Chain A
Amino acid sequence: MPDGAVSLESILCTEELPNRPWRPPDHEKENSALVALTSALADSPRTILQTLADKVLEILHADSAGLSLLTKDEKRFYWAAIAGAWRPHIGGGTPRDFGPCGDVLDHNIPMLFTHWERRYPYLSTAMPLADEGLLVPFYVNGKAVGTIWAIAHNNRRKFDAEDLRLLESMSRFASAAYQAVKSIEDLKLEIAAREKAETELSELNDGLEAQVRVRTEELEQRNKQLADARARLAEEKLRLERSEAYMAEAQRLSHTGSWHLNVRTGELVWSQEFFAILGFDSEKTKPSYPLFLERIHPEDRSKFDQVRSAAIREKKDYEVEYRLLLPGGLTKYVHGIGHCSASQSADIEYIAAAMDITERKRAQEELRRSEAFLAEGQHLSRTGSFSWRVATDEITWSEQLYRIFGFDRGVPVTLELIGTRIHPEDLSAFEEQIERSRQDGSDVQLEFRLQMPDHSLKYLHTVAHGTRDQNGRLEYIGAVQDVTERRLSEEALSKVRSELAHVARVTSLGVLTASIAHEVNQPLSGIITNANTCLRMLAADPPNIDGARETARRTIRDGNRASEVITRLRGLFSKKDPTIESVDLNEATREVIVLSLSKLQGERVSLRTELADDLPLVTGDRVQLQQVILNLLQNASDAMSAVDGRPRTLLIKTERDERDHVLLTMQDAGVGFEPQNQDRLFEAFYSSKSGGMGIGLSVSRSIIEAHHGRLWAAPNDGPGATFAFSIPCRSECRTGAHSLGAIQTPAVTGGVQHVTRNL
């Protein structure tokens, strides 16, 4: 016992209880409390001790109430349940041998304490301090196990005998409650112990399981990795196989074999296709360099070996073309590429490809040959070819075309450069053609001359076809032929022909004359002979009258015969009656142009036509009208033959004039005529031409006038003259036929022959 502590007696006032004012017992309240406790015990035994404390507080009107239980080791009391002000102190307690609870159990009686902290100082820390504390023991199976108590923290409340009675009643219940709780607690303890054991076991187990699980997972992971790796390997293998298959296929398709050489180990691998190219069976042949070398064409063998050996020595790549000579004599061309690679083990390795380029070589050879043929063909035919991209003026020439123009091969060709070679007189026509082609992309046919540096002339004939690519860009592709020789021989031929024509005409006139003479001389001969005979018979003595009469009769007969001969001759050389029909003057004009085209080109006349679309038909003799057109065309062409230094342009135009006439005009750029001679032009036998007879225009005018039309001529404002005729588009057939017949004679005597010569 600590020093200074007061005695037990000094803190007890239990004896006062009977002396304190009495009050009647409140059984009803007690009962209701006990019923509540009982039902609480049934409903919630775990909290019964707290419910008990609550009820004590309530019934005794105490400030705090609680329950102290002896611990198992019986060394302490612990406060199992507290209600009221001390509730925070639950779980606290007091020693068994030094405290109020111990005092109560030691004496085994209820006790009323006042300010117990005076004896038990540790209770001074349990605030608020207890003014009075009433404790009663409670028993289980006759053994005191704890106390039940109520506290008043100030002197407002003084416990009395009734409080004691109620507390004792509650303590009896408390014993039942304790037993219930104890059994529960024991059970709980047991359960807890078992649970603990189980927990430990389960923990142990869990640990094991966890370990097993971890290991299992690790194993599974491993397995999965293995499986993945295997799958990847399989995939890789498949891919490899596939890519090998692709490679083999690609090699087969591209005729490319490959080989692989480890220089140090001498390990040599050939691809399937390489076997095939060399003509070896991959099943039966072991790759070796000598075997390969054996297949190389003897002429290429040392070259290949040198290239390959040098490359290996210098650890360099190489590229070489060589031939194979296979058994059976087949030659193959091969393009070989070797790539040197130093592997990680520092071994020198070669990977090489050998492409069978036989077909390419053959195609190249054929291309070269056909190019040579083409070049030779161009050379022989003196024909060059070109292409002209119009938008960019990009011009490409064949070799022959350079030769024709006399430019050095490879000189960039421009239109300007071409222009420097073209004969000045043809330049404007050429430029016009270029502009026209730029515009419409139509096909080109053009003749022009070149003036070469040595002043010689070349005649070129150009044909070009315009095409458009996908983007609509125009490109001309064409050929240029040097027709100089042909042109010159044509000119020579034409000269010969015209001489021949002249000779023929003279000859035929002679033949005609002779034939006429023969036909006429025969009867004349008879006539004269008969007349001589007749004279002689009459002069005889006696005169032979009968004989004279007979010969005179024969004379008359032969005279008639001679006359018949003349009639027959006229019939033989006379023209048929004119044919009257509807004539499309445009069509007739086009026919004449077609007939004259080569002549016009030969005379370098640039012809332009403007033929009206809606031209009405005319009535007349188509052939006669064509003779007129031809004659005008011929005159225009002749008038320009001496013209140099300006384009020889000829415009032929048809149109309908306001008086329902069809008008044809022909405008030339020729020498023209003097205005004072205008009327004389149409006179027969007047000609401004050296070789002309002056018949054509006079006949032409007759023909046109027979068609009720008019033919006239006028000088141009500029150089040249314009000839024109107009005829009614609805001429009356009958009078037309009649008057056409009337021009028969002039057409026969001069015009026809003149026009025929032009044809």
Chain B
Amino acid sequence: MVIRSLVAVIDDDESVRESLPDLLRELGFAVQAFSTAEEFLASDYIGQTRCLILDIAMPGMSGPDLQRELTLRRQEIPVVFITAHGDETVRPRLLEQGAVECLSKPFSDAALLRALNAAFRVS
């Protein structure tokens, strides 16, 4: 049996939490969705998670905040940011700070797959 790598989706938008896990499963990943960064930190999945698909702007702890927190905890999980704000200035900064990719919503499945491949190549 092939052990599927676990991808965690963290987004406050429900439609993303509904649609994205289905697509990821179709792509062959195990998926766990969280509505907030705090929820993810409190879960048991941190150690198993091979990749994070992380919304930038969320109530409470933002995506980059979580990334910093994980770095502090020495949990080096590759991060793919997703954002609905479509601000081109944000992306280079995030990449600089160690993100694998930053996707603007809406994004294609091809773009998502490329980002995930990159993430797993890193890890």
Chain A interface (Cβ within 8 Å of chain B)?
Answer: 514, 517-518, 521-530, 532-533, 536-537, 540, 547, 551, 554, 557-558, 561
The reply on B74 being an interface residue by CB < 8 A is no
Pick from A521, A528, A529, A533: contact of B86, CB under 8 Å: A521
Q: Are B105 and A533 in contact (CB under 8 A)?
A: no
Q: Given A525-B105, A533-B26, answer yes or no on A551-B19 (Cβ-Cβ < 8 Å).
A: yes
Binds A, one of B33-41, B44-52, B63-71, B106-114: B106-114
- On chain B, the residues within 8 Å of A551 by CB distance are 19, 22
The reply on B30 being an interface residue by CB < 8 A is no
- On chain A, the residues within 8 Å of B82 by CB distance are 525
Which residue of B has the minimal Cβ distance to A519?
A: B84
Q: Are A527 and B26 in contact (CB under 8 A)?
A: no
Q: Given A554-B19, A558-B15, answer yes or no on A525-B107 (Cβ-Cβ < 8 Å).
A: yes
Main secondary structure of the interface of A (DSSP, over half): helix
**Most chain A beta-carbon contacts within 10 A, residue among B18, B19, B104, B107:** B19
Ranked 6 nearest A-B pairs via Cβ: A526-B15, A525-B105, A521-B84, A529-B19, A528-B106, A525-B106
- On chain A, the residues within 8 Å of B22 by CB distance are 529-530, 533, 547, 551
- On chain A, the residues within 8 Å of B23 by CB distance are 529, 532-533, 536
Q: Are A518 and B85 in contact (CB under 8 A)?
A: yes
Report the Cα distance A558→B18, complex, angstroms: 11
Which residue of B has the minimal Cβ distance to A530?
A: B19
B116 CB to nearest A CB, Å? 14
- On chain A, the residues within 8 Å of B15 by CB distance are 522-523, 525-526, 554, 557-558, 561
Q: Are B107 and A528 in contact (CB under 8 A)?
A: yes
Q: Given A547-B22, A554-B18, answer yes or no on A536-B106 (Cβ-Cβ < 8 Å).
A: no
Report the Cα distance A530→B27, complex, angstroms: 13
The reply on B58 being an interface residue by CB < 8 A is no
Report the Cα distance A252→B15, complex, angstroms: 103
Q: Given A529-B20, A554-B19, answer yes or no on A522-B105 (Cβ-Cβ < 8 Å).
A: yes
Q: Given A524-B105, A525-B105, answer yes or no on A518-B19 (Cβ-Cβ < 8 Å).
A: no
Pick from A518, A522, A528: contact of B108, CB under 8 Å: A528
Q: Are B109 and A532 in contact (CB under 8 A)?
A: yes
Report the Cα distance A537→B107, complex, angstroms: 18
Report the Cα distance A23→B71, complex, angstroms: 216
The reply on B13 being an interface residue by CB < 8 A is yes
A530 CB to nearest B CB, Å? 5
The reply on B94 being an interface residue by CB < 8 A is no
Q: Are B19 and A524 in contact (CB under 8 A)?
A: no
Within 8 A of A (CB), among B53-96: 82, 84-87
Apart from A522-B16, A525-B19, what are 19 other A-B pairs with CB-CB below 8 Å? A517-B85, A517-B86, A522-B105, A525-B13, A525-B16, A526-B18, A528-B106, A529-B106, A529-B109, A530-B18, A530-B19, A533-B22, A536-B26, A537-B26, A547-B22, A551-B19, A551-B22, A554-B18, A561-B15
Per-residue contact bits, chain B 2-40, to A (CB 8 Å; 1 contact, 0 not): 000000000001011011101100110000000000000
A706 CB to nearest B CB, Å? 39
- On chain B, the residues within 8 Å of A522 by CB distance are 13, 15-16, 84, 105
Q: Are B85 and A514 in contact (CB under 8 A)?
A: yes
Report the Cα distance A257→B87, complex, angstroms: 95
- On chain B, the residues within 8 Å of A518 by CB distance are 84-85
Report the Cα distance A525→B23, complex, angstroms: 12
Count the A-B residue pairs with Cβ separation under 8 angstroms: how many? Answer: 75
Report the Cα distance A557→B106, complex, angstroms: 16
Report the Cα distance A558→B27, complex, angstroms: 22
- On chain A, the residues within 8 Å of B26 by CB distance are 533, 536-537, 540
Report the Cα distance A549→B70, complex, angstroms: 38
Report the Cα distance A66→B1, complex, angstroms: 224
Q: Are A525 and B84 in contact (CB under 8 A)?
A: yes
In the complex, 9 of the A-B residue pairs with CB atoms within 8 angstroms, ordered by the A residue number, are A518-B85, A523-B15, A525-B106, A526-B19, A526-B106, A528-B108, A533-B109, A554-B18, A558-B15
- On chain B, the residues within 8 Å of A561 by CB distance are 15
A710 CB to nearest B CB, Å? 47
Report the Cα distance A525→B27, complex, angstroms: 17
- On chain A, the residues within 8 Å of B104 by CB distance are 521
Report the Cα distance A561→B84, complex, angstroms: 15
- On chain A, the residues within 8 Å of B106 by CB distance are 521, 524-529
A631 CB to nearest B CB, Å? 36
Q: Given A517-B85, A525-B16, answer yes or no on A532-B108 (Cβ-Cβ < 8 Å).
A: yes
Report the Cα distance A63→B87, complex, angstroms: 189
Report the Cα distance A518→B84, complex, angstroms: 5
Report the Cα distance A523→B26, complex, angstroms: 21
A175 CB to nearest B CB, Å? 188
A97 CB to nearest B CB, Å? 195
Report the Cα distance A558→B107, complex, angstroms: 15
- On chain A, the residues within 8 Å of B85 by CB distance are 514, 517-518, 521
Which residue of A has the minimal Cβ distance to B105?
A: A525
B97 CB to nearest A CB, Å? 22
Report the Cα distance A547→B23, complex, angstroms: 11
Report the Cα distance A524→B82, complex, angstroms: 13
Q: Are A533 and B16 in contact (CB under 8 A)?
A: no
- On chain B, the residues within 8 Å of A529 by CB distance are 16, 19-20, 22-23, 106, 109
B58 CB to nearest A CB, Å? 12
Q: Are B105 and A521 in contact (CB under 8 A)?
A: yes
Report the Cα distance A557→B15, complex, angstroms: 9
Report the Cα distance A198→B105, complex, angstroms: 172
Report the Cα distance A524→B26, complex, angstroms: 20
Q: Are A514 and B19 in contact (CB under 8 A)?
A: no
Report the Cα distance A521→B84, complex, angstroms: 5
- On chain B, the residues within 8 Å of A537 by CB distance are 26
- On chain A, the residues within 8 Å of B27 by CB distance are 536
A399 CB to nearest B CB, Å? 60
- On chain A, the residues within 8 Å of B18 by CB distance are 526, 530, 554
Report the Cα distance A741→B24, complex, angstroms: 51
- On chain A, the residues within 8 Å of B105 by CB distance are 521-522, 524-525
- On chain B, the residues within 8 Å of A532 by CB distance are 23, 108-109
Report the Cα distance A756→B26, complex, angstroms: 54
A21 CB to nearest B CB, Å? 205
Which residue of B has the minimal Cβ distance to A532?
A: B109
Pick from A517, A526, A540, A547: contact of B16, CB under 8 Å: A526
Which residue of B has the minimal Cβ distance to A540?
A: B26
Which residue of A has the minimal Cβ distance to B19?
A: A529
- On chain A, the residues within 8 Å of B84 by CB distance are 517-518, 521-522, 525
A576 CB to nearest B CB, Å? 30
Report the Cα distance A209→B3, complex, angstroms: 180
Which residue of A has the minimal Cβ distance to B17?
A: A526
Report the Cα distance A514→B108, complex, angstroms: 21
B13 CB to nearest A CB, Å? 5
Report the Cα distance A696→B82, complex, angstroms: 43
Q: Are B16 and A514 in contact (CB under 8 A)?
A: no
Report the Cα distance A547→B84, complex, angstroms: 26
Which residue of A has the minimal Cβ distance to B103?
A: A525
Report the Cα distance A529→B15, complex, angstroms: 9
Report the Cα distance A700→B5, complex, angstroms: 65
- On chain A, the residues within 8 Å of B20 by CB distance are 529
Report the Cα distance A524→B16, complex, angstroms: 10
